Amino acid sequence: MTDRQQTGYHMSPEDFRRHGHALVDWIAAYWQRVESLPVRSRAAPGEVAAALPGSAPERGEPFAAMLEDVERVILPGLTHWQSPNFFAYFPANTSAPSVLGELLAAGLGVQGMLWATSPACTELETRVLDWLAELLGLPAAFRSDGGGGGVIQDSASGAALCALLAARERASDGAANERGCDRRLTAYASTETHSSIEKAVKIAGLGREQLRIIPVDDHFAMDAGALARQMAADVAAGFTPAFVCATVGTTSSTAVDPVAAIAAVARRFGAWLHVDAAMAGSAMICPEFRALQAGVEQADSYCFDPHKWLFTNFDCSCLFVRERGALIRALSVLPEYLRNRASESGAVIDYRDWHVPLGRRFRALKLWFVLRHYGAEGLRHHLREHVRLARWFADQVAVHPDFELAAPVPFNLVCFRHRGGDAGSEALLERLNGSGRLYLTHTRLDGRFTLRLCVGQTHTEASHVEAAWAAIRAAAEGTAAPAG
Ligand SMILES: *Cc1c(COP(=O)(O)O)cnc(C)c1O
């Protein structure tokens, strides 16, 4: 019998084994050679699309043909986020145990919308998020055995939206659920807060005019005094402060908002405090960083992304809430076809009520594999090493006559400039990224063009950061040379 007679058009178990092993080999080999590939993709717009057929195939093709096209068509169109010379944006790092957990989740293919649809999918997630709350030194109230708990979301953006919806629900005593958003609710963020908060405010129906943008100090951290004055003015004008976002590690420069001072203001005005530690939250596994988020005990919700800097591939964002009731009231609806005895008993968690989608995949598996493979000790080792390398780089910049630091370096991101000004820094960046040897991105701080170097790819080591610094100095000499 041929395979096709046995399995219809499906891939046979034997072929799956064969191709699966080949694919794992391909990934392992990719990780070994990725360092030699140009980090930023050189593909021109439309180039990848032009290499693909205009229609789906009528007849099935062999797996080998797909793998060949991955090599031929896809690879040149990739920016290699897993290159140890990737220093751009924030990392989206991954690791072998994470990829294996992802593969297993796909193979099991369970849909964990309710406890009843796969008890292990829910209970593993609850347990792993409790582990993480403890590892990060978060308040006990954020654990599932307190009044709160954690949930895996698709992104920090989705998590912020859910926190805002819970805050809206709490500030309106449930009226927002019934009659739509009360136009008198206000939300607060700083000039440096991630754009996802503005997006959440739009989606939640508060309206952008109800989002107050608070100024920052000269280290790009929110001015808590200005926040208090704004809230007082809003209350006097008949508004209800409902939500404030404090950031630990802003996207632009990893600035750290004064969480304790912001928490005191939020509490005085009855506003929900969300702490967005999307990237820097991972560092809290190392106790020496926790002073930077002192005051987190007062927060209503906290979010960080293991898919940025905790060796867990995208997507995996963790949202912790102090009081799960507000979140669940904001997001729960119950159609007849989802009714079941376990849910009605109140003895189980149904995570569908903790985020926007109904369906959910088994993302806790990869996080569980990562935590068990590395152990807390292994995670601390690698995070500390990344921070050490970033500080080493910052020290070189600080003493070099042609460069200057543009912001403090509390974690793994260095913001710096060429003293030649915006045009010089911009030309330097293009020259570096065009070389393919490394990839950095930029931001603007105090209105000035600023280069960012973030150390966070899983396999970035001292040699890569040293080579980056050498390349930057060499490119600066080239850039500074008189044109023509
Ligand atoms: C990256 C980032 C986000 C958004 O993260 P997603 O998970 O991609 O939505 C939000 N806040 C901060 C501070 C970030 O750095």
Give the chain's mean pLDDT.
95
The average pLDDT across 63-70 equals 96
Cα of 196 vs centre of ligand 1, distance in Å, is 7
Cβ 425 vs Cβ 451: under 8 Å: yes
Could you tell me if the CB of 365 is within 6 A of ligand 1?
no
What does the radius of gyration of the chain's CA atoms come to, in whole angstroms? 24
**Can you tell me the distance from the alpha carbon of 71 to that of 225, in angstroms, rounded to the nearest whole number?**
55
- Please check the confidence at residue 435 and state whether its pLDDT lies above 50: yes
Percent share of the chain, pLDDT over 90: 90
Q: Would you say domain 376-476 falls under CATH 3.90.1150.10?
A: yes
Q: At 180, is the pLDDT very low, low, confident or very high (cuts 50, 70, 90)? A: confident
The average pLDDT across 86-104 equals 98
* Segments making up each domain of the chain, as ranges: 13-92, 110-361, 376-476
- Condensed to tens digits (0 to 9), the pLDDT of residues 275-309 reads 999 999 999 999 999 999 999 999 999 999 999 99
Write the CB contacts of 275 (distance below 8 Å, at least 6 apart in sequence): 245, 246, 247, 248, 259, 293, 296, 299, 301, 302, 303
- Condensed to tens digits (0 to 9), the pLDDT of residues 137-159 reads 999 999 999 889 999 999 999 99
Q: DSSP of 344-403, one letter per residue?
A: HHT-S--GGGGSS-S----THHHHHHHHHHHHHHHHHHHHHHHHHHHHHHHHHHHH-TTE
The average pLDDT across 396-422 equals 96
- Condensed to tens digits (0 to 9), the pLDDT of residues 239-262 reads 999 999 999 999 999 999 999 999
> In this structure, are strands 185-190 and 240-247 parallel, antiparallel, or unpaired?
parallel
How much is the pLDDT for 310?
Answer: 98
The torsion region of residue 137 among left (phi > 0), alpha (psi -120 to 50) and beta comes to: left
Q: How many CB atoms are closer than 10 A to CB 52?
A: 10
How much is the pLDDT for 344?
Answer: 81
**Cut 0.75: pTM above it:** yes
Could you tell me if the CB of 193 is within 6 A of ligand 1?
no
How much is the pLDDT for 461?
Answer: 98
Cα of 120 vs centre of ligand 1, distance in Å, is 28
Q: DSSP of 278-341, one letter per residue?
A: TTGGGGGGSGGGGGGGTTGGG-SEEEE-HHHHSS--SS-EEEEES-HHHHHHHH----GGG--H
Cβ 186 vs Cβ 195: under 8 Å: no
The average pLDDT across 442-462 equals 97
- Please check the confidence at residue 479 and state whether its pLDDT lies above 70: no
Ligand 1: atom nearest CA of 251 is: 15
Could you tell me if the CB of 82 is within 6 A of ligand 1?
no
Cα of 250 vs centre of ligand 1, distance in Å, is 9
Long-range contacts of 67-74 (CB under 8 A, 24+ apart): 67/19, 67/22, 67/23, 67/26, 70/26, 73/48, 74/48
- Condensed to tens digits (0 to 9), the pLDDT of residues 39-54 reads 999 999 999 999 999 9
Residue corresponding to tokens 């669940």: 328
Q: At 2, is the pLDDT very low, low, confident or very high (cuts 50, 70, 90)? A: low
How much is the pLDDT for 483?
Answer: 42
Ligand 1, pocket-test mutation among 305, 316, 356, 412, most atoms within 8 A of CB: 305
Could you tell me if the CB of 156 is within 6 A of ligand 1?
yes
Q: What are the tokens at 212?
A: 């107050």
Domain 13-92 superfamily per CATH: dopa decarboxylase, N-terminal domain (1.20.1340.10)
The class (CATH top level) of 110-361 is: alpha beta
Write the CB contacts of 246 (distance below 8 Å, at least 6 apart in sequence): 222, 257, 258, 259, 262, 263, 273, 274, 275, 276, 299
Q: At 4, is the pLDDT very low, low, confident or very high (cuts 50, 70, 90)? A: low
